[in-house]
Amino acid sequence: MVEDRLSSSLTNRGYRRIDSNSQGIYLFCHTEEQDLVVVSVMEARNGTEFTQAQYKHILEQIKTTFLNSHPYRTQLLSLVLTQFPDRVKHFCTEIEENAHWIMDTSYNRLIIYENQPTDVAGLRETIEQLLEEEQKQRLLDNSSATYNQYNQVQKTDTIQGFASSQFKVFTLMNTIIIGINIIAFLVMHYTGAFGGEDQMLSKGALSWYFVKEEKEYYRIITSMFMHADWSHLINNMIVLLFVGYNLERAAGKFRYLFIYFASGILAGITSIGYNMWKDNAELSYGHSVFSIGASGAIFGVVGAMLLIVIVNRGRLEDISTRQMVLFVVFTLYGGLANARIDQAAHVGGFLAGLLLAAILYRRPKSTRATIEV
């Protein structure tokens, strides 16, 4: 386990372990010249074990104890071990005193945010090395225990690379959006609610004529949750399930939600503009072009994910730039090959996602992810 490797690595460097009376909290201390270096290790598996106030109180007690017993400078490094780094991120970003790093035990990576020191007593290299060893051992154990399954995963197509090695694909906002799409589809096609399928299409689908001339701006949103048939729905939701999961983990749930809806809205506006230019004439209700589907927003998610992967030097957890580029190329090609697909919305959503991610996403100053595909 990573805790054992950490203890062994620090002990080999001359650190002395001190167990506390609280479960999941232990210390390592070492005197370097006249400075005392204290490493506080806090296990927060679910990220909810400590409130920020409790976290600060624990560190204050630790620092006070050593200040009273050591006459020279004391350096305190807090290591938070967790499977959910987003839940403890505020420990690092909102508390500037001392040093606060996160050890992500799900992906065996060290996370150091911009406001934190990039190294403390040369410990960064030691920690990154032990995390790399832990990841190699995990892959070795997995490959020997489940060789057939692992081999199959390596041979799957590009989209399966978006799922994590533990096949976790559910996050809060992404799951809610998928659920709303499914419910809207069932209501539209299998109930008489809101006047039935024909009435919903005529009142909810995207049409430049009705948006521009009739001021029915709500269509830009309602059309995002309408699908023509099961194939249309399933294809969109499968892509969103994997790509949306990874984007929400990388950007956070509120940024993800903003990127999804903003991309969908900008995709709708792009579609409206293109169809107005293409038709180049006033059209009546009977001839107006209608479009439905979540693919504009989904392409925004894909565009945002591509930029985030590139910003993270070509790889983020299980996703590589090559996988993202191949996915975008194949999906755009599929749209070009089908005359019924609103390609303008796809392109508009994709470019919107790229732009929004460039504005909203901030890569942690140091994030080392050691999963290899």
Which is catalytic among the residues 207, 231, 346, 366? 346
For residue 346, indicate whether it is catalytic: yes
Q: Which residue has the tokens 């993270």?
A: 312
Which own/partner pairs from 230-233 qualify as long-range (CB within 8 Å, at least 24 positions apart)? 232/293, 233/181, 233/182, 233/185
Q: Is 248 helix (H, G, I), strand (E, B) or coil?
A: helix
Beta bridge partners of 111: 102, 367
Q: Is 30 helix (H, G, I), strand (E, B) or coil?
A: strand
Which is catalytic among the residues 284, 295, 320, 366? 295
Residue 309, φ and ψ in degrees, nearest 5: -65, -45
Q: Give the integer Cα–Cα distance in Å for 363 and 344.
A: 30
Beta bridge partners of 366: 112
Q: Is the dihedral of CA 122, 124, 127, 129 positive or negative?
A: negative
Q: Are 107 and 373 in contact (CB under 8 A)?
A: no
CB neighbours of residue 286 within 10 Å: 5
Picking from 346, 365, 263, the residue whose alpha carbon sits closest to that of residue 304 is 263
Give Cβ neighbours of residue 65 (< 8 Å, ≥ 6 apart).
none
Buried b (16+ CB within 10 A) or exposed e, 42-67: bbbeebebbeeeebbebbeebbeebe
Q: Give the integer Cα–Cα distance in Å for 264 and 243.
A: 15
Catalytic residues: 295, 346
